[in-house]
């Protein structure tokens, strides 16, 4: 198979519907809060009576009082999936409504990977909001920019002195309509974060990053934004992303909630891998970060309410992907396991959405067109968007016959490298899907393109995915799931569809 370099999607003709004009404040405000690596089962309320009948798993014994209360006022999805459960690919799909091959971000962004870079000509959700009269603010981790040597304080150098460079400074021309900026690329010292503001000045506040970011969000809401406009505010907190090993990573008041509880009582899910002892010991720190994020999210909600903005504001709480913690494999993400793919998705919009729990299978690219429609901008969704507007599925109390039957799973790997050892092509190493009941992941060999591994789980009978069903004994099931693949792959304009990968198994037309 070819190595892929994202050339084809230029043909998609991504343009915005013309005739844009400033909108009035009749359009709702939108706040999108998404901490990094927050697994859906990390939400305490799934253990509560009002919610537990909707899921078949045990949630973590966390304390998330703010999210528990918020969930009762919102539409709560039990089965929202991060199609490619990795930072940069998720963020690109979220903002563009396009799958990775079309938006250019197939792997995490770092300077050694020029292949994974948001296409310059894409129209993002913030572009649309900005062009339609919104004030747009971004706070926190961005991780959607290919690092270049553009440090505003040290011209000609990368902001990240490490090799390879992961962190990035996003200059004005790459901010896609965000007029307020307080952000960085990616950096993992939770109590020593840094940010570049709208003018490129660097700030090193030396405090736990979600607290600092909530303060910034409140400042934006109360005094920074243009109050003659509706606003679109994104807050991207890094915790509960690793590191989660000590009090350097979380607030002591949150750690104290868990420090005296034995690991056996914290790790309640039966799929804990006994070999992952370091990840087991991380549990109280991971949960402390979950509780701290909960508190800071609650502070943003309180500020919104105090300003009387809670009714006409769409508030979303989600995450870029989950965290397998001490289950399955060492890598916390980038796998088809439920703990990695299943993310929180809680959306509150009192004027249009009646609180309820839904098992809607939401894909990441669906979020952009859905939010734009809920905000009254459905006629401004860029042409060529691959995600589906599922706003009706949020307004209805139950998924309709039009609701998605499956979501695509995507995993890419580094492909061809140039003389400078930079990755200039990617290899689409695994594809699969999740239905309401099953998980299927097909991995291919990099040299032969032949099937190398199959993961097949019955998530109804085996919610912790402890029994990989052998294909030989489940031929009919395997065939029926493979039959769903072509349509999903086609919709994503995926290289597997274009190259008819595993055509002996997947029934392409």
Q: Which is nearer to Ca ion, 85 or 230 (CB)?
A: 85
> For Ca ion, how many residues bind (rule: CB under 5 A)?
3
Give the Cα separation of 284 and 259 in Å (integer): 6
Give the Cα separation of 255 and 195 in Å (integer): 26
Q: Which is nearer to Ca ion, 36 or 145 (CB)?
A: 36
Q: Which is nearer to Ca ion, 55 or 165 (CB)?
A: 165
Residue 209 beta carbon to Ca ion: minimum distance, rounded to whole angstroms: 14
Residue 143 beta carbon to Ca ion: minimum distance, rounded to whole angstroms: 7
Residue 252 beta carbon to Ca ion: minimum distance, rounded to whole angstroms: 25
Which two structure tokens, joined as six digits, stand for 448?
């032969």
Q: Which is nearer to Ca ion, 322 or 428 (CB)?
A: 322
Q: Which is nearer to Ca ion, 164 or 470 (CB)?
A: 164
Q: Which is nearer to Ca ion, 87 or 358 (CB)?
A: 87
x/- contact string, 312-351, with Ca ion (CB under 5 A)? Answer: --------x-------------------------------
Which two structure tokens, joined as six digits, stand for 489?
């792959």
Residue 89 beta carbon to Ca ion: minimum distance, rounded to whole angstroms: 10
Residue 241 beta carbon to Ca ion: minimum distance, rounded to whole angstroms: 6
Q: What sign has the CA pseudo-torsion 82, 87, 93, 99? A: negative
Residue 462 beta carbon to Ca ion: minimum distance, rounded to whole angstroms: 27
Residue 96 beta carbon to Ca ion: minimum distance, rounded to whole angstroms: 17
Residue 10 beta carbon to Ca ion: minimum distance, rounded to whole angstroms: 27
Distance of CA 263 to the CA centre of its chain: 28
User: Cβ-closest residue to Ca ion?
Assistant: 87
Q: Which is nearer to Ca ion, 142 or 178 (CB)?
A: 142
Q: Which is nearer to Ca ion, 27 or 143 (CB)?
A: 143
Which residue pairs, CB below 8 angstroms and at least 24 apart, start in 100-103?
100/410, 100/412, 100/492, 101/4, 101/6, 101/8, 101/9, 101/492, 101/493, 101/494, 101/495, 102/6, 102/9, 102/12, 102/384, 102/386, 102/492, 102/493, 103/9
Residue 333 beta carbon to Ca ion: minimum distance, rounded to whole angstroms: 7
Which two structure tokens, joined as six digits, stand for 228?
């003659």
Residue 58 beta carbon to Ca ion: minimum distance, rounded to whole angstroms: 24
Q: Which is nearer to Ca ion, 65 or 164 (CB)?
A: 164
x/- contact string, 288-317, with Ca ion (CB under 5 A)? Answer: ------------------------------
Give the Cα separation of 250 and 293 in Å (integer): 10
Which two structure tokens, joined as six digits, stand for 483?
């039959």
Distance of CA 79 to the CA centre of its chain: 13
Residue 168 beta carbon to Ca ion: minimum distance, rounded to whole angstroms: 15
> What per-residue string of b and e applies to 278-307 under the rule 16 or more CB within 10 Å gives b?
ebbebbbbbbbbbbbbbbbbbbbbebbeee
Q: What is the CA radius of gyration of the chain?
A: 22
Looking only at the bridges linking them, the beta strands covering 135-141 and 231-236 are parallel
Residue 165 beta carbon to Ca ion: minimum distance, rounded to whole angstroms: 17
Give the Cα separation of 165 and 167 in Å (integer): 6
Residues numbered 75 to 104 that lie near Ca ion (CB under 5 A) are: 87
Which two structure tokens, joined as six digits, stand for 460?
């109804």
* Strand (E) or helix (H) holding 296: helix 277-306
Residues numbered 24 to 63 that lie near Ca ion (CB under 5 A) are: 36
Q: Which is nearer to Ca ion, 36 or 254 (CB)?
A: 36
Q: For residue 472, with 0-12 CB atoms within 10 Å meaning exposed, 13-18 middle and 19 or more buried, which class applies? A: exposed
Q: Which is nearer to Ca ion, 322 or 404 (CB)?
A: 322
Give the Cα separation of 342 and 319 in Å (integer): 9
Q: Which is nearer to Ca ion, 323 or 393 (CB)?
A: 323
Q: 86 and 107 in contact (C-beta within 8 Å)?
A: yes
Partners of residue 457 on adjacent β-strands: 439
Give the Cα separation of 254 and 288 in Å (integer): 5
Footprint of Ca ion (CB under 5 A): 36, 87, 320
């Amino acid at each position: 198979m070819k190595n892929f370099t994202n050339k084809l999607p230029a043909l998609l003709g991504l343009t915005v519907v013309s005739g844009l004009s400033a909108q009035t404040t009749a359009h709702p405000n939108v706040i999108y809060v998404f901490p990094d690596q927050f697994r859906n089962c990390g939400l305490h309320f799934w253990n509560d009576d009002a919610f537990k009948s909707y899921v078949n798993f045990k949630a973590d014994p966390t304390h998330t009082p703010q999210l528990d209360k918020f969930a009762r006022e919102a539409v709560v999805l039990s089965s929202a999936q991060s199609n490619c459960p990795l930072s940069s690919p998720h963020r690109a799909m979220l903002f563009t409504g396009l799958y990775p091959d079309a938006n250019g971000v197939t792997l995490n962004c770092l300077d050694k990977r020029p292949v994974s870079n948001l296409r310059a000509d894409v129209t993002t959700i913030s572009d649309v909001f900005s062009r339609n009269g919104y004030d747009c603010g971004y706070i926190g981790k961005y991780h959607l920019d290919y690092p270049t040597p553009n440090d505003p304080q040290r011209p000609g150098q990368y902001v990240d002195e490490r090799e390879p460079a992961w962190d990035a400074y996003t200059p004005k021309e790459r901010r896609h309509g965000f007029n307020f900026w307080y952000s960085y690329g990616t950096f993992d010292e939770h109590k020593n974060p840094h940010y570049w503001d709208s003018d490129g000045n660097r700030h090193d506040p030396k405090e736990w990053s979600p607290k600092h970011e909530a303060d910034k969000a409140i400042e934006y809401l109360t005094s920074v934004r243009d109050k003659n406009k509706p606003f679109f505010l994104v807050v991207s907190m890094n915790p509960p992303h690793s590191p989660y090993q000590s009090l350097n990573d979380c607030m002591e008041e949150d750690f104290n909630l868990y420090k005296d509880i034995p690991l056996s009582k914290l790790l309640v899910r039966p799929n804990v891998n006994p070999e992952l002892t370091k990840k087991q010991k991380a549990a109280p720190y991971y949960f402390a970060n979950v509780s701290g994020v909960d508190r800071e999210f609650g502070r943003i909600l309180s500020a919104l309410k105090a300003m009387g903005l809670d009714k006409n504001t769409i508030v979303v709480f989600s995450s870029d992907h989950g965290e397998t913690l001490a289950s399955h494999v060492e890598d916390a993400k980038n796998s088809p396991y439920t703990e990695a793919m299943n993310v929180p998705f809680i959306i509150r919009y009192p004027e249009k959405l009646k609180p309820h729990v839904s098992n809607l299978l939401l894909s990441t690219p669906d979020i952009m067109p859905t939010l734009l429609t809920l905000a009254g901008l459905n006629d401004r969704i860029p042409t060529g968007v691959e995600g589906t507007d599922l706003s009706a599925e949020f307004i209805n109390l139950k998924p309709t016959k039009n609701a998605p039957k499956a979501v695509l799973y995507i995993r890419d790997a580094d492909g061809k490298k140039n003389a400078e050892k930079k990755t200039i092509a990617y290899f689409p190493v695994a594809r699969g899907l999740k239905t309401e009941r099953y998980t299927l992941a097909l991995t291919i060999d990099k040299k032969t393109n032949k099937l190398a591994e199959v993961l097949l789980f019955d998530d109804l009978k085996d919610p912790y995915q402890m029994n990989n069903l052998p294909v030989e004994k489940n031929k009919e099931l395997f065939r029926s799931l493979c039959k769903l693949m072509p349509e999903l792959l086609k919709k994503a304009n995926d290289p597997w569809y274009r190259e008819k990968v595993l055509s002996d198994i997947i029934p392409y037309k």
